[in-house]
Amino acid sequence: MKPGIHPDYHPVVFKDTATGDAFLTRSTVTSDRTIEWSDGATYPLVLVDISAWSHPFWTGARRIMDTAGQVEKFHRRYGERGGRR
């Protein structure tokens, strides 16, 4: 790698705010918050809204879609159009 042009790549803890799960990885992101990890060292802490522990795709929790309601909402917003061609 060319010296002096790359950002600092260091250990960082990412914490899911929805579940409280955290993991230690390396990143270029910085943070003013810190956390003491299980190895006794202190690392920068980055809070994330969604991770693999809380994302509906990975947890299997599905959002129920009200498709009939969405169609009605579309018709209310844009009105019914003329006949089909």
**Where do the domains of the chain lie?**
10-78
- Sequence-distant (6+) residues with CB within 8 A of 53 are 16, 18, 19, 21, 59
Residue 12 CB: number of other CB atoms within 10 A? 19
Beta bridge partner(s), residue 55: none
pLDDT at 28: 94
- pTM, to two decimals: 0.62
pLDDT at 57: 65
Question: pLDDT by residue for the chain (85 residues), tens digit each?
Answer: 688 898 889 999 999 988 889 999 999 999 999 999 999 999 999 998 888 777 766 566 665 656 667 778 888 888 876 555 4
pLDDT at 78: 85
